C-alpha cells in the first residue's frame, strides 16, 4: 500500500516545492525581464513609436564611441587589478602561512566592501583623497608631499579606477576563495613526490586548473564595473563621460534629452554585460568540473 501512495505524495508535494520560487519569479519578471524588454524595444523605436534603426546607428557617433571606450578601459583596468590583487589576498588567507583567524574577518570585510558603492563610497574617497581630504592634508602637512602636484586627480580615469577597486578586489576574494579551497591536497602531494618545486606546482597544476575560474571572474568584474553608475556619477558628475553617465544625460537631461538614444545606449550596455556574464557562467562551470 505504501508503494502505491508514495508517488501520489510526491506529486502532491511538487506544487508546494515550486511555490517557493514564485516570489523570485515575480521579482525577476517585474524588475529584470520586463524592463529589459522595454529598453530593447525602445532602442528600435522613434518617439512616435515607429520602427527605426537610427538610434542604434547613432551609437557610432564619436562622442558615444568615446564614452564606450572610456567605460571599457576603466572596466578592463579594474577587472585586471581586482583579479591580480584579490587573487593574492585570497591565496594568502587560503593557502598561505597566515594565521587561520585572519580568514574570518577578511571574508566578512570582503562581503561588506563588495556591496559598498554609490554615494557613500564616493563621499568616503572624497573625504580621504580629495583635494582637502584627510590623507591628502596629512601627506602635505607632515611629509611635504602634494599628491595633486604629481598629477593625481580623484576625478579622473585613474581616480575612478581606484574607487572601483574598493569593491572589485573584495568581490574577487569572495569568488576565487571557493575555487582555491577546491584544490585537492593530493595534487600537491603528488607534485612533491615527483620532485616539483613550489613554483612548478603553481605553474603546471594550480594555474591551469584555475584559469577558467580566473577568466570567468575577470569577465564578471568587467561587467560589474561596466554597469556601475551611482559611484561614478556621485564622484565625477559629468566630468568623465562614461556610458552610464551619458545614458543618464540622454534620459533625464534637460539639454541632451533623447530617451530613445538612451535606450539604445542601454541596449549596448546589455549586450556588453550579457557577453561578459555569459563567459563567466561558462568558464565557472568548467572550473567546477575540475574541482569536484
DSSP the chain: -HHHHHHHHHHHHHHHHHHTTHHHHHHHIIIIIHHHHHHHHHHTB-TTS-B-SHHHHGGGSHHHHHHHHHHHHHHHHHHHHHHHHHHHHHHHHHTSSS-GGGHHHHHHHHHHHTT--SHHHHHHHHHHHSTT-HHHHHHHHHH---TTTTT--TTSHHHHHHHHHHHHHHHHHHHHHHHHHTS-HHHHHHHHHTT--HHHHIIIIIHHHHHHHHHHHHHHHHHHHHT--HHHHHHHTTSS--HHHHHHHHHH-SSS--HHHHHHHHHHHHHHHHHHHHHHHHHHHHHHHHH-
pLDDT digits (tens, 9 = 90+) for 207-248: 888 888 888 899 989 989 998 888 888 887 777 788 888 887
152 exposure class (CB count in 10 Å sphere: 0-12, 13-18, 19+): middle
One domain for residues 22 and 83: no
In a domain, 4, yes or no: no
Same domain flag for 33 and 108: no
Asked whether residue 43 falls in the same domain as residue 91, the answer is no
Asked whether residue 207 is domain-assigned, the answer is yes
For residues 156 and 185, membership in a common domain is answered with yes
The answer on 81 and 220 residing in a single domain is yes
31 shares a domain with 81: no
Q: Which domain holds residue 38?
A: 17-52
Same domain, 74 and 142: yes
Are 30 and 168 in a shared domain?
no
For residue 1, is it within any domain? no
Residues 111 and 217 in one domain: yes
* Domains contained in the chain, number: 2
* 42, 115: one domain: no
Pick out the chain residues at pLDDT < 50: 1-2
* CATH number of the domain encompassing residue 187: 1.10.3720.10
Indicate if 39 and 126 belong to the same structural domain. no
Identify whether 260 is part of a domain. yes
For residues 80 and 176, give the distance between their C-alpha atoms in angstroms, rounded to a whole number: 14
The predicted pLDDT at position 288 comes to: 67
Which of 247, 255, 250 has its CA nearest to residue 230?
A: 247
In a domain, 9, yes or no: no
In a domain, 12, yes or no: no
Structure-block grid coordinates of residue 260: 530613445
What is the model's pTM? 0.83
Q: Which of 120, 139, 119, 142 is nearest to 129 (CA)?
A: 139
| Same domain, residue pair 30 and 139 | no
- The reply to whether 107 falls in a domain is yes
pLDDT in tens, 92-120: 998 877 888 888 899 999 999 988 888 88
> CA 237 to CA 249: how far, in whole Å?
11
pLDDT at 251: 74
How many CB atoms lie under 10 A from the CB of residue 177? 21
CB 55 within 8 A of CB 44: yes
Does 77 map to a domain? yes
Amino acid at each position: 500500500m505504501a508503494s502505491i501512495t508514495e508517488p501520489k505524495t510526491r506529486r502532491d508535494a511538487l506544487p508546494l516545492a515550486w511555490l517557493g520560487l514564485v516570489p523570485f519569479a515575480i521579482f525577476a519578471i517585474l524588475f529584470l525581464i520586463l524592463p529589459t524588454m522595454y529598453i530593447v524595444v525602445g532602442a528600435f523605436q522613434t518617439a512616435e513609436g515607429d520602427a527605426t534603426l537610427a538610434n542604434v546607428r547613432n551609437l557610432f557617433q564619436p562622442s558615444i564611441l568615446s564614452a564606450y571606450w572610456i567605460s571599457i578601459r576603466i572596466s578592463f583596468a579594474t577587472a585586471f587589478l581586482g583579479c591580480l590583487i584579490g587573487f593574492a589576498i585570497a591565496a594568502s588567507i587560503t593557502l598561505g602561512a597566515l594565521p587561520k583567524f585572519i580568514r574570518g574577518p577578511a571574508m566578512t570585510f570582503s562581503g561588506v566592501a563588495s556591496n559598498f558603492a554609490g554615494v557613500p563610497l564616493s563621499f568616503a574617497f572624497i573625504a580621504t583623497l580629495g583635494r582637502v581630504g584627510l590623507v591628502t592634508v596629512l601627506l602635505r602637512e607632515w611629509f611635504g608631499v602634494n599628491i595633486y602636484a604629481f598629477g593625481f586627480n580623484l576625478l579622473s580615469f585613474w581616480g575612478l579606477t581606484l574607487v572601483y577597486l574598493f569593491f572589485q578586489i573584495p568581490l574577487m576574494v569572495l569568488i576565487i576563495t571557493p575555487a582555491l579551497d577546491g584544490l585537492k591536497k593530493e595534487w600537491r602531494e603528488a607534485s612533491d613526490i615527483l620532485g616539483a618545486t613550489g613554483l612548478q606546482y603553481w605553474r603546471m597544476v594550480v594555474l591551469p586548473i584555475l584559469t577558467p575560474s580566473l577568466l570567468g571572474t575577470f569577465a564578471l568584474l568587467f561587467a560589474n564595473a561596466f554597469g556601475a553608475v551611482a559611484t561614478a556619477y556621485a564622484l565625477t558628475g559629468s566630468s568623465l563621460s562614461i556610458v552610464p553617465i551619458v545614458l543618464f544625460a540622454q534620459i533625464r537631461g534637460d539639454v541632451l534629452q533623447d530617451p530613445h538614444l538612451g535606450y539604445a545606449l542601454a541596449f549596448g550596455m546589455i549586450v556588453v554585460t550579457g557577453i561578459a556574464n555569459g563567459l563567466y557562467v561558462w568558464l565557472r562551470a568548467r572550473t567546477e568540473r575540475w574541482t569536484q
